Amino acid sequence: MKTRVCDMFGIEVPIFAFSHCRDVVVEVSKAGGLGVLGCAYQTPAQFKAELEWIDRHVGGKPYGIDVLMPKKYDKVEQKSLRLDELPREQLEFMRKVCDEAGIPELPRDDADKMLMEEIERVHMTPEQNAELLEIALEHPIKLVVNALGAPPQDLVARLHDRGIKVGAMIGSVEHAQRQRDAGVDLIVAVGMEAGGHTGKITSMLLWPQVVDAVAPIPVLAAGGIGRGRQMAAALALGAEGIWCGSIWLGTKQSELSAEMKQRLFEARAEDAVQSRVRTGKPCRLLRSKLTDAWEKPGAPPTLPMPLQTIVMTEARLRVERAKARDFMTYPVGQVVGDMKHETTVKQVVYDMMVEFLDSVERVQQLVEQD
């Protein structure tokens, strides 16, 4: 395919894959698209190791990273954070929910160590992501995508000096215009159907609005894309490519456990709900008894980013260790309703392109009719 983003990165198909899993990143890039590694849950040492692994396995194909630079957040000094300093109301609430459900506590001798190891992985502030970005610049990344805020113009200039393209994820025209003014090279227009942090505008309305508002900057369509027909619709609405995240969660290469994958395969589109439970910001994720608990009367307020993610850590670990499926949750978009069984990254790309070509041919036949 020959879209502007294909030419920009020298890729064969305009499929950009966001994932926290290095295997997905590599497989998408090797399949002709561009994999993008999420940084939000990596310590500096882990992030360095992940990038080194990608460099060894991607075969020289281009890849990128995704960073969080939220405008509103609580600054947390992670190196000095103590477990007894965590907000008690929310922490005790989650403990009560788990206790009442019969979900075992963490092993007493190892609980503190397990919690701190997980908390140290939470990198959701601009300061923390700046540290990870410095590590990434030691590797041959081709794209840096920013979420939850506009990147500083001096950072954009610095990346451009290194030949690295800059993208930004947005959920409204106003946000897109701010990113355009910051000098980004491409915009990822994220419809509300998407997993993770989203706005309130549906993809079918948002995509063409953003395409018109930021022209000639190329736009990637995101939110509700997991099939070729949806890809065809996105390009028909003016996008130069697509950005997918949820669809890779059900692949063999995904980082998710077999139990979590099965939860996704059993879910309907309406089971992907928006909530502040995971990060403190509106985030679409799989509904579960854990998320439902926060919607009931008497539940405490959610905390600002990244504290909400931190206070959820203990409950998440308890649920995962107990394999308590009804309480398992994960960020995922409404495309989860189309995910029915495990497949591979390569197969997803292949199926998407076949259905895309079929869709284009169908439209051409409609136009050519006498």
Using alpha carbons, select from 169, 187, 173, 155 the residue that is nearest to residue 5.
Answer: 187
Q: What is the rounded CA–CA span in Å between residue 28 and residue 269? A: 24
* E strand intervals along the chain: 15-19, 34-38, 63-68, 143-147, 165-170, 186-190, 196-197, 219-222, 241-244, 272-275, 283-286
pLDDT of residue 118: 86
pLDDT of residue 71: 57
Can you tell me the mean pLDDT for 8-21?
Answer: 97
CB 115 within 8 A of CB 86: no
Predicted confidence (pLDDT) per residue in 208-221, tens digit: 999 999 999 999 99
Please, what is the end-to-end C-alpha distance for the chain in angstroms?
Answer: 29
CB 269 within 8 A of CB 356: no
Any residues with CB less than 8 A from the CB of 125 and at least 6 apart, and which? 68, 70, 73, 75, 76, 305, 306
Residue 72 has pLDDT above 80, yes or no: no
169, β-bridge pairs: 188
Domain architecture of the chain: domains with CATH? 4-73+124-252+340-368 (3.20.20.70), 79-121+262-327 (no CATH)
CB 275 within 8 A of CB 195: no
Residue 23 has pLDDT above 90, yes or no: yes
Residue 84 has pLDDT above 80, yes or no: no
Structure tokens at 309: 């993610």
Q: Which has more confidence, 64 or 125?
A: 64
Predicted confidence (pLDDT) per residue in 99-126, tens digit: 999 999 999 999 989 998 888 887 767 7
pLDDT bin (cut points 50, 70, 90) of residue 70 is low
Predicted confidence (pLDDT) per residue in 132-150, tens digit: 899 999 999 999 999 877 7
Predicted confidence (pLDDT) per residue in 348-364, tens digit: 999 999 999 999 999 99
Q: How many CA atoms lie within 13 A of 86 on its CB side?
A: 24
* E strand intervals along 214-369: 219-222, 241-244, 272-275, 283-286
Predicted confidence (pLDDT) per residue in 154-206, tens digit: 889 999 999 999 999 999 999 999 999 999 999 999 999 999 988 899 999 99
Mean confidence (pLDDT) of the chain: 92
pLDDT bin (cut points 50, 70, 90) of residue 7 is very high
Q: What one-letter code names the amino acid at 174?
A: E
Can you tell me the mean pLDDT for 228-233?
Answer: 97
At 281, phi and psi to the nearest 5?
Answer: -115, 155
Q: What is the rounded CA–CA span in Å between residue 75 and residue 260? A: 31
CB 248 within 8 A of CB 348: yes
Can you tell me the mean pLDDT for 46-73?
Answer: 89
